[in-house]
Amino acid sequence: MTGAAGANTRALAALALQRIVDGASLRVEFEAAAAQLPDGRDRALLSALLHAGARWWLRYAAGVDLLLERPLPKHAVPLRALLALGIVQIEALQMPGYAVVDASVEAARALGKPAFAGLVNAILRRWLRERAALGARLDRDIVTRTAHPRWLLDALAADWGALADTIVAADNTEAPLWLRANRRRSGRDALAARLRSAGVVAQMPEAPDDALLLEAGGDVTGLPGFAAGEFSVQDGAAQFAAELIDARDGQRVLDACAAPGGKTAHILERADVRLLALDRDEKRLPRIGANLVRLGLHAEIRAGDAAQPDAWWDGERFDRILLDAPCSATGIIRRQSDVKLHRRADDVAALAGVQGRLLEALWPLLAPGGRLVYATCSVLHCENDGQIERFRARHADATPVGAAALPPWRAAGAGAVQNLPGESGMDGFFYAVLEKHR
């Protein structure tokens, strides 16, 4: 990677990070910026910068503010993101300090702000000289010490007590890369062997039974077997959904909030079922279809709001329903670090209301003797065990499955379990499994 390319990558990262801070999706911004970088090494650097930049924004943007004598003019606002990324490279990514300074100065010029090159140089060099004292100042406040918003820190403390610190620490680490073998095309033993032959080390955890855990991340599309649909990328925690649905050949299955289709595909890999993949966002449906085509699978894909079945349901009940509900995503912050920047306290109550409405709308669609799996990637009680307790109080015909059928996680009420971020190397995830009385 040339110096010019490195400067351009950092300039693109600064612009993208500023948009992320202003509310844009990290995934969307990464894809748009990466399309401008033909070299895989530049795309890898961009990914590292954006994920670490969002993860540590609440700490190191505040560090920039300690060093600026006055706010930047409006036309130079992306330089604040560039400076924060400079500190992130030094502190979080452990890059050589003066190399980061030089690259950031060149990035300021690439941004079309050569008049600010001297300021970028001065601010980052001052950080290098005073980093211990400045870090101590940032540590005085829990928000800048942990790089978490105060509302979330309060919610974690209320729900998890002393474990809140463990969750916060896990959030600030990089998530490992999990793969899911497509058992219709390659068993995981054979896939692991193929990866090893290509120099990729993959562990085979005891559970879930289609999972592989890679020691190093990177661009999975270049790995052997990806183009042939032999595997998908899916965190280990999310892979339990298909196991818990326990679909049998010939059954009718609904994936009620299906996009981008990972759990839909996993169910189809495990059983020959009639599956309806539903999602309210029509723009997300092509991604489901593309994933299924690559994996050699088929489902009916339809746009529809699961909370309003009158608009799409044909009256035939489902034997299995998966409700991977919209949630706060507080269990996957280490993987989607922009959650810390975008989610607000008021969002959680609103999401809990949506989850309750979805459960109420879908339960009548489940056949007697059928099974509903409720899942979230949240660690907040009001979305998880609290939600299921309220639902069961309203529905005497909802019977929780036995503990032996659940993943070996923390018990979270009858028929429910919770994984915290980083436990068993997996994301924070909640499952409740309910069966309907005949």
User: What residues are labeled active site?
Assistant: 377
* Contact call for residues 340 and 54 (beta carbons, < 8 A): yes
Check if the beta carbon of residue 326 is closer than 8 Å to that of residue 355: yes
CB atoms within 10 A of CB 369: 10
> Alpha-carbon distance 301 to 299, whole Å?
6
Handedness of CA 81, 82, 83, 86 (dihedral sign): positive
Terminal CA-to-CA distance of the chain, rounded, Å?
Answer: 64
Angle, CA 264 vertex, CA 190 and CA 416 arms, to 5°: 95
Tokens 């005497």 belong to 396
- The two beta strands, 252-255 and 300-303, are unpaired
248 vs 323: CA distance, rounded Å: 18
Query: What are 122-128's contacts with CB under 8 Å, separation 24+?
Result: 123/64, 123/67, 123/68, 123/83, 123/86, 124/83, 124/86, 124/87, 124/90, 124/97, 124/100, 125/101, 126/67, 127/63, 127/67, 127/86, 127/87, 127/90, 128/90, 128/97, 128/98, 128/101
Q: How far, rounded to the nearest angstrom, does the alpha carbon of residue 350 sit from its chain's CA centroid? A: 20
User: Rounded to an integer, what distance in angstroms lies between the CA atom of residue 53 and that of residue 143?
Assistant: 16
